[in-house]
Amino acid sequence: MTEKEKCAAGLLYNANYDKELINERIACKDLCLEYNSLKNSETEKRNRQIKRILGSTKENLCIEPSFWCDYGYNIEVGENFYSNHNLVILDCASVRFGDNVFIGPNCSFYTAGHPLDAKQRNEGLEYAHPIKIGDNVWLGGNVVVLPGVSIGNNSVIGAGSVVTKDIPDNVVAVGNPCKVIKNIKEEN
């Protein structure tokens, strides 16, 4: 089993010393650098470049520079996707965003995690678990989403939150660790 196959299976894999994964990350970061260098007025070029980076997109999306990811091909964004500046997605596993997702500045999505055992970490081993963000989700600035987390439809994550566990549909959740503080009623 290759390191890439181990990663896809959610097993410990070697990310730091595997040539295939290293080369894929280098190629993706080169594409991100090109994207981040484009002028805001170069809308068509920006749209073409971001679609070269991401695995799957709908038509209407906007990611304000700077944007960085590891592989790109593991990222799927829905219709009407918007991210403010400084989005980081460590997409060793899949990261899927639904339709009408709005992300504040300085947000991060990390699918990669590392063993507690120092020897395994020092060998370059890590694991990756997918992240899923539902439809109509708003994430405030400086939100961090950790490996394996799902955020439900119509939910709002408050600024500065660290999302360590799944968040259900139709709630407002905030804090570190992020916790549900109220349900969102339809009349709101």
Domains contained in the chain, CATH given: 3-118+125-183 (2.160.10.10)
pLDDT at position 188 over 90: no
Match 């694991």 to its residue by tokens: 127
Q: Say if residues 149 and 35 touch (Cβ distance below 8 Å).
A: no
pLDDT at position 187 over 90: no
- Omega within 30 of 0 (cis) for the link into 168: no
| Phi-psi domain of 170 (left: phi exceeds 0; alpha: psi -120 through 50; beta: other) | left
89-131 pLDDT, tens digit per residue, is 999 999 999 999 999 999 999 999 999 999 999 998 999 999 9
SS3 167: strand
How are beta strands 125-128 and 13-14 bridged, if at all?
Answer: antiparallel
146-178 pLDDT, tens digit per residue, is 999 999 999 999 999 999 999 999 999 999 999
Average pLDDT over the chain reads 96
Give the CA diameter of the chain. Answer: 54
68-87 pLDDT, tens digit per residue, is 999 999 999 999 999 999 99
Q: pTM of the entire structure? A: 0.95
Quote the tokens at residue 113.
């995690």
- CA neighbours closer than 13 Å in the CB half-sphere of residue 103: 35
Lowest mean pLDDT among 77-81, 134-138, 181-185: 181-185
Q: Say if residues 143 and 131 touch (Cβ distance below 8 Å).
A: no
Of 76, 96, 92, 94, nearest to 130 by C-alpha is 94
- Catalytically annotated residues: 114
